[in-house]
Structure 1
Amino acid sequence: MELEQLSRGMDTIWVVLTAAMILLMEGGFALLEAGFVRQKNAVSIIMKVFVDIAFGALVFFSVGFALMYGKDAGGLIGLSGFFMEGDLTHLQLNISHDTYWLFQCAFVIAVISIVSGAVAERIHFRAYILFTIVMTGFIYPVSGHWIWSASGWLAKLGMIDFAGSAAIHALGGFAALAAAIFIGPRIGRFGADGRINIVPPSNLPLASVGAFILWFGWFGFNSGSTLSATNESIGHIAVTTMLASAAGCAASILFTMLRYRKADPPMVINGALAGLVGITAGCAFVSDGAAIAIGGISGVVMVLASEWLEKRKVDDPVGAFAVHGISGSLGTLAVGLFALPGTASHSGLFYGGGAYLLGIQALGLAVVAVWGFSLTWIVLKLIQAFTPVRVSRDEELIGLDIGIHGVPAYSQDHDFLDIDQLRGHSAK
């Protein structure tokens, strides 16, 4: 009994600490996106991150967790555990349900943060709150149930997604793509003559620090998914995570040097993140060499995907789709190629397991991509019927910080501000 209590205690500490590491990634998202956008929109980025955390946690507690992990009869959706009450005994965990919820809550907050970057500098704050509620309360929990709940239909088929290349990153990436297309490009981003105008990042050192925080938090993201402090694979997961991220970063450095004759800093930042996204599904199931290959390929394809979007006049200010949607897709499929014998229910194609696992991974990826893209489009269309999804032209030109939130990011920009004017009141 004492050993059992010790085990539960250690696992609880491990999961809470790694959940905190994942939550710290929101600071990374905030700095990364604030550094990539213009100064006049930095506050709007921070406000959206607060929305992600606050509304995401409350909605996932009341509704999302039940839909994702509650009992079900057909593998489609959970039906118990609303407000963390009711029957959740089927989860069979070595930690409390509250502890498990905290870890999963950190994940759901990360999902909506992916979409945030793709619509930066032009989405209306009210519309973003509404979309956050639907994403964290329905879109992500339902597809997450299919993959991660023991009774989910994709899980029963044998789909493998250890920490979320598909469930989190591909879903968030394709939702981000739909949102970016729906809301349209920023004013002046693409010329009438087809010219592509680059919007320079406001603060690349800030964006770099954000990337480093995300990099750090990813060790909690992946290793914490063991849900056990004594799991022997923790070290291997951390190593594959590190190797893939390093390979993604190195590949983006070398590839942009060859392609542009100079290492492109935003691409290098996103290259490291692409490697992290790519390894997330298979970090516990692939070799160190495979991790390097997955990360390196993700880093190169991310650059090509970014160029592809620009040519089609899709404006994604932080590269959310290229990093999360594309790299998440590659990482999901890579499990079907590189899964080592004995690590999962099926081995990968390159290790004599045949094409079954690869086929299941492809099916699961396709379902998640279509679900994320189509539901996002539908929800934004519904929101538009009640409130503007995009800010006005004047608000976009002056910047969302002043236009929507009534305060600049940097106080030296103004000596004094009229509080009544900024808060929408007429002067007395």
Structure 2
Amino acid sequence: MLQQPQRALKQPLHPLSRPGGRWRYIPWVALGSLLIFCPAAFAQSATTADLKVALDTAWVLLTSFLIFFMNAGFCMLETGFCRSKNAVNLLAKNLIVFGLSTLAFWVVGFGLMFGDGNPLFGTSGFLLQGADNSPAVGDAYRGTYSALAWAGVPLNAKFFFQLAFAGTAATIVSGAVAERIKFLAFFIFSLLLVGLLYPITGHWVWGDGMLANLGFYDFAGSTVVHTVGGWAALIGAILLGPRLGRFQARPVAMPGHNLSISALGCLILWLGWFGFNPGSTMAADPLPISHIVVTTNIAGALGGLAATVTSWIYLSKPDLSMIINGVLAGLVSVTASCAYVNLGSAALIGLVGGVIVVFSVTLLDSLKIDDPVGAVSVHLVCGTWGTVALGLFSVGPGSYSWYGGDGPLAGLFMGGGIQQLLVQLLGIAAVGAFTVTFSLLCWLTLRATVGIRVSEAEEIQGLDLGEHAMEAYPEFQVGP
């Protein structure tokens, strides 16, 4: 049998010897050159200050987006904790509240909070009509928002960041008054809270107002955001009264319809806190940002663990709703002091928050105050604890590179005496008194005019049909 001749192997051409091969690489070489040399050229043409402003602005906007996303967390958390017949109502409130916040804060709130004025409130900068007074534009333009002049980012970035905070304060109220409040009453109250209440107390602390002048500190809002929302929620819950059937001989449980989305909401909020707290530096400064991220996370983690163990012992089972609120309790608790305490103190602050939130929920039940999602316990009680904790655990000026000489005095447990703690207690009392008074007047006025509670028949039927004429889960209904 004849052997077939062996075929010669076809040798591949060298890439540059292929037809047109040399020239097809030129665009890639050119692109690589651009990627290598353009940043260097830009760096030479741009000043160091320009680059810092760009980085700081990107950081502030990124954290603002995280805080904005917390609206989704509140939306899921509150909806899951409530009954299915009220799901649309909770979703609608949490969705519309940021639109309301945007309008109110743009028109009047931002000016009241950060506009130059007097120790009680700002009197300029409404409708965002004021000169950008950041260091990036020079001293010649300062004079409208002096309280924010320290932040070297554009005015619009400052506004959006602070707007995200304002929206959070309004959202806190939604859960505590859930399943029985009229949509219109909540609509109006949210406008009043973000347009007037929140910015006035915020001016006292963050707008170079009277509490700031006394040496009161609240880095990211345990008092400014959380206790303000918590006090407003408490007054609303008391004036509304409990849900039908909630309290008889003893409290009657009304389980939430979807703890899966509540757990998802908790995780979204946990993520959002990494914008809430570190973003309050309003600068892309690696050391404080890293420190604040870790103190925030440690407090949230310890809060969740403490609530798990506490509910396991006190309520016989590790209650998921308590675990969720324990995580949030730890995060709220460390919000005031996250930049001013060490990691061990952050762990202790979060742990205490996780314990007290469990007992606070049961205490409110014993007082027949109906809070379907635990908002008062998480935000008011733990926000107050967190503000006190700053006066106990702050390490004192000079301890960290970002602390400098501007910051709270060393806390009572850190060898600094009682002075900072007393100032913190004074601030808590002042903000609490004003918020309770303002909220009481608003809720009473709404009750006397548009009314604040739906009818008994509507509450039994569910607010989804009564207030919105639709259902979140129509396919669950039995029948044609």
Instruction: Please indicate, yes or no, whether the TM-score normalized by the shorter chain is above 0.5.
Output: yes
1:361 to 424, 431, 440: 424
Aligned to 2:445: 382
Change (3 A) 1:410 1:76: same
2:123 is equivalent to residue 79 of structure 1:
yes
Deviation of residue 86 (structure 1)? Answer: 2.9
The residue number in structure 2 matching 1:183 is 240
The Cα of 1:256 is off from its aligned counterpart by 1.0
CA drift of 1:141 comes to: 0.4
Output the amino acid matched with 2:75: A
Counterpart residue identity of residue 314, structure 1: I
Count of matched residue positions in the alignment of Structure 1 and Structure 2: 413
Q: Which amino acid aligns with 1:299?
A: G
1:60-79 equivalences in 2 (<5 Å): 60-73=105-118, 75-79=119-123
Q: 1:231 Cα deviation (Å)?
A: 4.8
In structure 2, the partner of 1:126 is 184
Equivalent residue, structure 2, for 1:425 = none
1:35 aligned residue: 80
C-alpha distance in 2 between matches for 1:415 and 1:100:
51
Q: For structure 1, which segment, 197-206 or 406-415, has the greater mean C-alpha deviation from structure 2 after superposition?
A: 406-415
- Please say which of residues 86-95 and 216-225 is displaced more in the overlay: 86-95
Letter in 1 for 2:213: K
Match for residue 402 of structure 1?
Answer: 465
Q: Find the counterpart in structure 2 of residue 336 from structure 1.
A: 391
Report the CA distance shift for 1:70/1:416 in structure 2 as closer, same or farther (over 3 A): farther
Q: Distance in 2 between matches of 1:267 and 1:248?
A: 10
Q: Is the 8 A contact 2:130 2:145 kept in 1?
A: no
- Worse overlay, 82-91 or 61-70: 82-91
Seen in structure 2, the aligned counterparts of structure 1 residues 184 and 229 have a Cα distance that, compared at 3 Å, is: same
Say yes or no: does 1:52 pair with 2:97. yes
Q: Distance in 2 between matches of 1:186 and 1:282?
A: 36
| Alignment CA distance shift 1:416-1:403 (3 Å) | farther
Q: How does 1:279-358 map to 2 (within 5 A)?
A: 279-342=334-397, 343=403, 344-358=407-421
Match for residue 17 of structure 2?
none
Give me the whole-angstrom Cα distance separating, in 1, the residues matched to 2:428 and 2:58: 33
* CA displacement, residues 309-330 of structure 1 (integer Å, 9 cap, x when unaligned): 0001000000011000000000
Other-structure match for 1:163: 220
Q: How far apart, CA to CA, are the structure 1 residues paired with 2:277 and 2:408?
A: 19
- Whether the 8 Å contact between 1:333 and 1:358 is mirrored in structure 2 is yes
For structure 2, the residue ranges without an aligned partner over 5 or more in a row are 1-45, 132-143, 398-402
Residue type at the aligned position of 1:199: M
Larger displacement relative to structure 2 (241-250 or 50-59): 50-59
For 1:345 and 1:384, how far apart are their aligned partners in 2?
42
Match of 1:101 among 149, 152, 159: 159
Say if 1:62 and 1:83, in contact at 8 Å, map to a contact too. Answer: yes
In the TM superposition, residue 172 of structure 1 has moved relative to its aligned partner by 0.9
Contact 2:101-2:190 at 8 Å conserved across structures:
yes
Tell me which residue corresponds to 2:24. none
Letter in 2 for 1:146: W
Moved over 4 A (4+): 414-417
What's the counterpart of residue 67 of structure 2?
A: 22
Structure 2 Cα separation of the partners of residues 141 and 49 of structure 1? 20
Q: 1:10 aligns to what SS in structure 2?
A: helix
Which AA in structure 1 matches 2:414?
Y
Tell whether 2:169 aligns with 1:111. Answer: yes
Deviation of 1:117 after TM superposition, in Å, equals 0.3
**What is the 5 A alignment of 1:186-205?**
186-191=243-248, 194-205=249-260
- Quote the offset at 1:411 in angstroms: 2.8
> 1:254, CA displacement in angstroms?
0.8
Structure 1, 361-370 or 307-316: larger mean CA deviation: 361-370
For residues 86-140 of structure 1, what are the alpha-carbon distances to aligned partners after superposition, in whole Å with 9 as ceiling and x for unaligned? 3525231301111000000000000011010000001100111110110000000
Look up the equivalent residue of 1:265 and give its one-letter code.
L
Structure 2 residue aligned with 1:266, among 307, 315, 321? 321
How far apart are residue 175 of structure 1 and its match?
1.2
1:80/1:231 Cα in 2 relative to 1: closer, same or farther (>3 Å)? farther
Distance 1:89 1:323, change over 3 A: closer
Q: For 2:287, what is the secondary structure of its paired residue?
A: coil
Deviation string for 1:190-212 (max 9, x for gaps)?
A: 11xx3210101101111000000
Q: Which is greater in Rg?
A: 2
Q: 1:57 and 1:304 mapped to 2: Cα distance?
A: 35
Q: Look up the equivalent residue of 1:108 and give its one-letter code.
A: A
Deviations 1:262-305 (A, max 9, x none): 10110110000000000000000001000010000001101111
Matches of 2:369 and 2:429, distance apart in 1: 21
Q: Which has the bigger relative contact order, CA under 8 A and spacing at least 6?
A: 1
Instruction: Please name the residue that 2:38 is paired with.
Output: none
- TM score, norm. by length of structure 2: 0.84
What corresponds to 1:138 in structure 2? 196
Partner of 1:173: 230
Distance 1:147 1:115 in 2: 21
1:1-12 counterparts in 2 under 5 A?
Answer: 2-12=47-57
TM-score by length of 1: 0.94
CA distance in 1, matches of 2:201, 2:286: 27
Task: Return the alpha-carbon distance in structure 2 between the equivalents of residues 39 and 177 of structure 1.
Answer: 23
Distance 1:295 1:374 in 2: 30
| Alignment-mate amino acid for residue 94 of structure 1 | G
1:2 Cα deviation from its structure 2 partner: 1.3
Secondary structure of the structure 2 residue equivalent to 1:103? helix
2:39 maps to none
Q: What letter is aligned with 1:297?
A: V
From 211, 222, 242, the equivalent of 2:266 is: 211
Q: Does the aligned pair in 2 maintain the 1:178–1:374 contact within 8 Å?
A: no
Q: Deviations over 1:61-89 (max 9, x none)?
A: 0100000001013x000001100003525
Which residue of 2 is the match for residue 223 of structure 1?
278
Structure-1 separation of matches of 2:307 and 2:250: 25
